[in-house]
């Protein structure tokens, strides 16, 4: 399990490949499920030019590690990876990558969805969007269902 908060841009596919190349349980997984979240240039009908993502250092990582451990207890996972961006983010830039490795696709899909939904619903991140009219804090995330 790896959880990282980054204040710089990252390339999700390179991160997943680099992590996967070093998984100790090589040959033990047959499925990899990956979710990549990218910044949109719109929200709630408004054009968004940039977003400031803030977090609570220490607490955020602890929360993400906790949900990763919960996923490992619920599904037979070989490994999991969460990388989340903070700071200024611009449209089309990756914000988050969540990847899980398991022997079978069902567990990989379900665990990946669980991690992403828990992260979006409860992890201590705050978003401030820059609009043409000024800035606003995002009060709620869109539902993943």
- CATH of region 2-137: 3.90.1170.40
- Token pair 């499920």 is found at 33
User: Mind listing the pLDDT tens digit for each residue in 29-72?
Assistant: 999 999 999 999 999 999 999 999 999 999 999 999 999 999 99
**Mean pLDDT, residues 110-119:** 97
pTM over 0.75, yes/no: yes
Query: How long is the chain?
Result: 145
Reference 69, options 22, 10, 131, 3; nearest CA is 3
3-state secondary structure (DSSP) of residue 84: strand
For the chain, counts of helices (H) and of strands (E):
3, 10
Buried b (16+ CB within 10 A) or exposed e, 68-107: beebbeebebbbbbbbbbbeebeeeebbbbbbbbbeeeeb
Binned at pLDDT 50, 70 and 90, residue 145 comes out as low
């Amino acid at each position: 399990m790896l959880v990282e908060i980054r204040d710089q841009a990252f390339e999700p596919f390179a991160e997943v490949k680099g992590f996967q190349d070093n998984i100790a349980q090589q040959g033990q997984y047959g499925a990899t499920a990956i979710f990549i979240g990218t910044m949109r240039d719109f929200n709630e009908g408004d054009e968004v030019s940039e977003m400031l993502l803030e977090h609570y250092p220490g607490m955020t990582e602890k929360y993400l590690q906790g949900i990763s451990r919960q996923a490992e207890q619920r599904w037979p996972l070989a490994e999991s990876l969460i990388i989340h961006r903070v700071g200024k983010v611009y449209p089309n830039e990756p914000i988050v990558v969540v990847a899980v490795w398991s022997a079978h696709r069902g567990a990989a899909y379900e665990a990946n969805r669980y991690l992403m939904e828990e992260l979006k619903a409860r992890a201590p991140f705050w978003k401030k969007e820059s609009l043409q009219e000024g800035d606003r804090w995002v009060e709620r995330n869109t539902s993943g269902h």
